[in-house]
Amino acid sequence: MSGLSTPRRSSLTTRLAAHIPARVAPSGAVVRVALTSHAVERFIERVHPGCDQAGATAYITALFSMGVVEPHPPPWHVTLRPAPLYLTIGDVALVLDVDVRARDRLVARTCVARDGRWTHRRPRARIRPPKLGRTPRPYRRPAPGQLILDPQH
């Protein structure tokens, strides 16, 4: 059919050529991690503004050489849906997932940083101060057919 083009791949699934080696925490095994352009963009936005893509990839590669991949999110990262794996170094965490194309590889989905823009916390309920100086009177229900005209009664 003419007029239809092939679907564009979103930046979330576009993998960069870099495959970074990373150590897994419990076993010490080395796995390869593919970076997505989305993860690099979030790293630039949240961690190193003004950096270009090649510089950010170099910084991320250095982070992978310092840290280990763990199955738990960092304590400062509040999320409703935790990812399967994280690489956390200080105030920066890369969210990792298993690559569906190659099960022996991981994919860095995004980058989160401490003191990010928003968290998934619910807003606190407003606590009303107690009303002081007024004692509530007991409720008196009038009997059927009875009319109370005097409020002191």
Q: What does the pLDDT look like over 76-135, one tens digit per residue?
A: 888 888 889 999 998 999 999 988 888 888 999 999 998 765 444 555 667 777 667 667
Do 96 and 106 contact (CB within 8 A), yes or no? yes
For 23-65, how does the pLDDT look when each residue is reduced to its tens digit (9 = 90+)?
888 788 888 999 999 999 999 999 989 899 999 999 999 988 8
CATH number, domain of 57, equals 3.30.2310
The verdict on residue 50 lying in a domain is yes
Do 73 and 58 contact (CB within 8 A), yes or no? no
Do 96 and 108 contact (CB within 8 A), yes or no? yes
Record the tokens describing residue 98, joined without a space.
């298993």
Q: Is 86 helix (H, G, I), strand (E, B) or coil?
A: strand
Do 33 and 63 contact (CB within 8 A), yes or no? no
Which of these, 46, 14, 45, 35, lies nearest to 113 by C-alpha position?
46
**Residue range of the domain that includes 89:** 15-113
Radius of gyration (C-alpha) of the chain in whole angstroms:
28
The verdict on residue 47 lying in a domain is yes
Number of structural domains the chain divides into = 1
